[in-house]
Amino acid sequence: MTQASQHHDIPAICHRFDMQGEVIQHRPYGNGHINDTFLIQSTTAATYILQRINQHVFKQPLSVMSNIERVLGHWQQVLQAQNTHAAHRKCPQLLPARDGKAYIIDAAGNVWRMFHYIDGTRTIDVIETPEQAFLAAKAFGQFQQYLAALPTHHLAETIPGFHHTRNRFQALIHAIDADTHGRADEVRPEIAFVLARESDTGQLLDLQANGELPERVTHNDTKINNVLFDAESGEPLCVVDLDTVMPGLVAYDFGDMVRTAATTVIEDEPDVRRVDIRMDLFAALARGYLSSAGDSLSHNERHSLAFGGKLITLEQGIRFLTDYLQGDRYYKTRYAQHNLDRTRNQFALVRAIEANLPEMERIVTTSLGLTRKFDFHHKVHKELEALQ
């Protein structure tokens, strides 16, 4: 897929933003599958993140940007109102373009944006300890709390039907029927796996349609490497990757955390024998999420969380499989069978979740959640003892 550094004049793009100094270094950054991301170093020692929005995926990039401006504006107000210490490290900040807009459009029509880099942070691809899982889930729950008062109609749907699992299922069926790359025969077992679970795909959508699950402002991409941790203290500072913040169900956010943070391996580990759910991490996620978001969840929402883990993992496998059948157009891939390996990995995780679902449901419905004023330094170890 596109290596933007080979095609774009990165320093020239940066200089259309209100950055200090000149670009002395730029390099591709992070593990995102969609946008092109660069780390930019300036002569003044300031560091920035530059991103090109993938317009095959985000068909209305300016709606993405206006959503992000709304979300950040609201979030910053909440932090100010709470008199938050070191607030500039607890919320991403856009660097405006020289014309005052939040983005620039280059001659080829690409939309670019720049963020201030938050110094002294790190991300985690595979969670190692329950403490990390607890803190990451708490950060996502907190993010939802920050945005709870933002009316959902203020945000555009940046990818229509993003977690509409029934439509994702239909898209897979179309891809199988079209079989444009002659790959359907090779993936018969994976197709059978999905067909056997068709009834799962509509469950939460039906509850939502009946008014039993409320729509909220959700993050929708709560992959664990979208949390920035303080590199020294390990404290979660903020969540990033706001392109898909839009109306959704809390089960989607909790579900994607389960998919990415309660597992033994990363999502593209090809050896499926290594894929499993870690119940200690799952319990820590539940405690962390409920500690920050728990008070606001309805009975039905709380009961939807564990199933959300299964559903979003199934959906992700369906999405990888669809992309494989369509010739790897959506996700960045590094080798020919990358999307197929990812699919098999996700389906192995679905099986592991299915084997543990009753226990997972028991955990989310009985975890009491901690008080909102959870003190990171003093209470985290104590609370986690209860999980051992």
Task: With CB under 6 A as the rule, give the number of residues binding ligand GN1.
Answer: 11
57 lies in the site for ligand GN1, by CB under 6 A: yes
* Shortest distance (Å) from residue 330 CB to Mg ion: 12
241 lies in the site for ligand GN1, by CB under 6 A: yes
Report which residue type is found at 174.
H
Report 247-286 residues binding ligand GN1 (CB under 6 A): 267
Residue 96 and residue 6: Cα distance in Å, rounded? Answer: 25
Residue 124 and residue 132: Cα distance in Å, rounded? Answer: 9
Q: What are the DSSP E strand ranges found in 36-183?
A: 36-42, 47-52, 94-95, 104-105, 111-116, 121-122
Report which residue type is found at 171.
A
244 lies in the site for ligand GN1, by CB under 6 A: yes
The dihedral built from the CA positions of residue 387, 303, 204 and 226, taken in this order, carries a sign that is negative
Phi and psi of 329, rounded to 5°?
A: -95, -25
32 lies in the site for ligand GN1, by CB under 6 A: yes
Query: Which window, 32-40, 60-68, 105-113, 168-176, contacts ligand GN1 (CB under 6 A)?
Result: 32-40
Query: Quick one: 34 or 118, whose CB is closer to Mg ion?
Result: 34
Query: Quick one: 32 or 369, whose CB is closer to Mg ion?
Result: 32
Q: Which residues touch 60 (CB under 8 Å, ≥6 apart)?
A: 156, 158
Report 62-81 residues binding Mg ion (CB under 5 A): none
Residue among 73, 53, 64 at smallest CA distance from 242? 64
221 lies in the site for Mg ion, by CB under 5 A: yes
Residue that is written with structure tokens 């003093």 in the block: 378
309 contact choice in ligand GN1, Mg ion, none (CB below 5 to 8 Å, kind-dependent):
none
Residue 218 and residue 252: Cα distance in Å, rounded? Answer: 8
33 lies in the site for ligand GN1, by CB under 6 A: yes
Residue 41 and residue 151: Cα distance in Å, rounded? Answer: 37
267 contact choice in ligand GN1, Mg ion, none (CB below 5 to 8 Å, kind-dependent):
ligand GN1
* Shortest distance (Å) from residue 318 CB to ligand GN1: 11
* Shortest distance (Å) from residue 373 CB to ligand GN1: 31
DSSP-based three-state secondary structure for 328 = coil
223 lies in the site for ligand GN1, by CB under 6 A: yes
DSSP-based three-state secondary structure for 237 = strand
> Which of 200, 221, 323, 383 forms a contact with ligand GN1 (CB under 6 A)?
221
Residue 118 and residue 95: Cα distance in Å, rounded? Answer: 12
Report 288-327 residues binding ligand GN1 (CB under 6 A): 316
* Shortest distance (Å) from residue 175 CB to ligand GN1: 16
Query: Quick one: 122 or 174, whose CB is closer to Mg ion?
Result: 122
> Which of 190, 200, 241, 267 forms a contact with Mg ion (CB under 5 A)?
241
Sheet containing 236-239: order of strands = 121-122, 227-230, 236-239
57 contact choice in Mg ion, ligand GN1, none (CB below 5 to 8 Å, kind-dependent):
ligand GN1
DSSP-based three-state secondary structure for 127 = coil
Residues that bind ligand GN1 (CB under 6 A): 32-34, 57, 221, 223, 241, 243-244, 267, 316
Residues that bind Mg ion (CB under 5 A): 221, 241
